[in-house]
Amino acid sequence: MATIDLHAVQKSFGPIHVLEPVDLQIRSGEFVVLVGPSGCGKSTLLRMIAGLEEATGGDILIAGQRVNDMEPKDRNIAMVFQSYALYPHMSVAGNMSYSLKLRKTARERIAEAVKGAAETLGLAKLVDRKPRALSGGQRQRVAMGRAIVRQPQAFLFDEPLSNLDARLREQMRAEIKKLHQRLGATSIYVTHDQIEAMTLADRIVALDAGRIQQIGTPLDLYQRPANRFVAGFIGSPAMNFVSGRYRAGVEGRSPHLDADDASIPLGDLRITDGRAVTVGIRPEHIAFAGPEAPYAIDCAVELVEPTGVGTIVHLRFGDVAVKAYRPGYGEWKAGERLRILAPFEHIHVFDGETGMRIEHA
């Protein structure tokens, strides 16, 4: 397996910058997940690594070798797409063996590779079928099989599960994780799915508007998002935000966020008085308060969504919409009032202008 190194890799289409210089070092055997909103440049980055798109600047190294000028087929990388792109007139075995045939691999070796991959992916009984006679999940597995037989130096996945229903996705997600545990292949995986990103990644790369916003383990991004974009992007339901001004503690009051319709205590945070800040708190960290609690924010319950595992309570105070999450069921009803607290140990603070995280103990 191979390392992948990107040094100031960038891309523009004519005058339009799609990717600002990207620096990323991927270890051999590492599973890196790329997330970001639609159009932020995820597929473009993958396609440049695969050689399907030319970088307009920077160096792409695979196993330490610069590949910018190398043909896709010589990069020894396999890509699995969202649309499986199977050949409809070929059987499962034919699809899986096609790239090996092109490379003039010996027949016995091809048969062995296809058999191995089909067994690994639970396709052994389906090798003679045509793609149209397969379910979505089975087709997806054929596409993966096609990648595996080539024994590439690295795998690139571009939203490979997004065409599957929820149940199949969950199953295939676990399959991909097991496959990675077995093959230990260096992988870059693009997804919109929070759970895929959190569960599959050794590290997540969060991209927005062609720029890397943060690189870290799933928990790094979840617990210490570097900026407001990452804070809002990672986690579902998403983090809540309240904007206002920092007020230093005077006359025995602790420092707090002074917002239009709320005042949120900020523990021992010491920053410039009056600085514009945004406070973030995840739905699962919102506390419900009794009538006497100081600083509690009085909210209207707008909607209650029981998900089965838990309940999402949609709340509002002033112009601010807030979601709270609790495992299990509750007796909340739309139209009621509820008092909430944002415990300081769970609060994230961001600069009101730049959106950058402001550290606190």
Ligand X SMILES: Nc1ncnc2c1ncn2[C@@H]1O[C@H](COP(=O)(O)OP(=O)(O)OP(=O)(O)O)[C@@H](O)[C@H]1O
Least Å distance, CB 38 to ligand X, is: 3
Report how far residue 257's alpha carbon sits from residue 341's, in angstroms, rounded to the nearest whole number.
Answer: 13
Binding span for Mg ion by CB under 5 A among 42-50, 85-93, 209-217, 235-243: 42-50
Q: Name which of residues 160 to 219 contact ligand X (CB under 6 A).
A: none
> Going by C-beta distance under 8 Å and a sequence separation of 6 or more, which residues neighbour residue 35?
42, 190, 191, 192, 197, 204, 205, 206, 207, 233, 234
Decide: helix, strand or coil at residue 18. Answer: strand
According to CB under 5 A, which one of 10, 43, 186, 278 is a site residue for Mg ion? 43
According to CB under 6 A, which one of 1, 3, 7, 18 is a site residue for ligand X? 18
Least Å distance, CB 222 to ligand X, is: 21
Report how far residue 105's alpha carbon sits from residue 77's, in angstroms, rounded to the nearest whole number.
Answer: 17
Q: Which is nearer to Mg ion, 93 or 207 (CB)?
A: 207
Binds 39, which of Mg ion, ligand X, none (CB < 5 to 8 A, cut-off by type)? Answer: ligand X
According to CB under 6 A, which one of 6, 9, 43, 239 is a site residue for ligand X? 43
Determine if residue 251 is left, alpha or beta; phi over 0 gives left, psi from -120 to 50 gives alpha, anything else beta: left
Bridge-based pairing of strands 297-306 and 154-158 is unpaired
Binding mask 61-90 for ligand X (x = CB under 6 A): ------------------------------
According to CB under 6 A, which one of 44, 91, 162, 254 is a site residue for ligand X? 44
The answer to whether 139 and 86 have CB atoms below 8 angstroms apart is yes
Asked if 153 touches Mg ion (CB under 5 A), the answer is no
Q: Which is nearer to ligand X, 41 or 160 (CB)?
A: 41
Distance set, CA 23 to CA 10, 58, 203, 207, 211 (Å): 9, 9, 14, 12, 10
Binds 151, which of ligand X, Mg ion, none (CB < 5 to 8 A, cut-off by type)? Answer: none
Q: Which is nearer to ligand X, 26 or 35 (CB)?
A: 35
Binds 329, which of ligand X, Mg ion, none (CB < 5 to 8 A, cut-off by type)? Answer: none
> Going by C-beta distance under 8 Å and a sequence separation of 6 or more, which residues neighbour residue 246?
255, 256, 257, 258, 266, 269, 271, 272, 273, 274, 275, 276, 277
Least Å distance, CB 43 to ligand X, is: 3
Q: Name which of residues 317 to 356 contact ligand X (CB under 6 A).
A: none
Report how far residue 339's alpha carbon sits from residue 235's, in angstroms, rounded to the nearest whole number.
Answer: 23
According to CB under 6 A, which one of 13, 133, 306, 307 is a site residue for ligand X? 13
> Going by C-beta distance under 8 Å and a sequence separation of 6 or more, which residues neighbour residue 148?
78, 117, 120, 121, 179, 183
Binds 145, which of ligand X, Mg ion, none (CB < 5 to 8 A, cut-off by type)? Answer: none
Helix (H) and strand (E) counts for the chain?
Answer: 8, 21
Least Å distance, CB 235 to Mg ion, is: 22
Least Å distance, CB 47 to Mg ion, is: 9
**Preceding peptide of 291 cis, ω within 30°:** no
Both tokens assigned to 155: 């795998």
Indicate the DSSP class of residue 238. P
According to CB under 6 A, which one of 2, 9, 24, 40 is a site residue for ligand X? 40
Residues forming the site for ligand X (CB under 6 A)? 13, 18, 36, 38-44
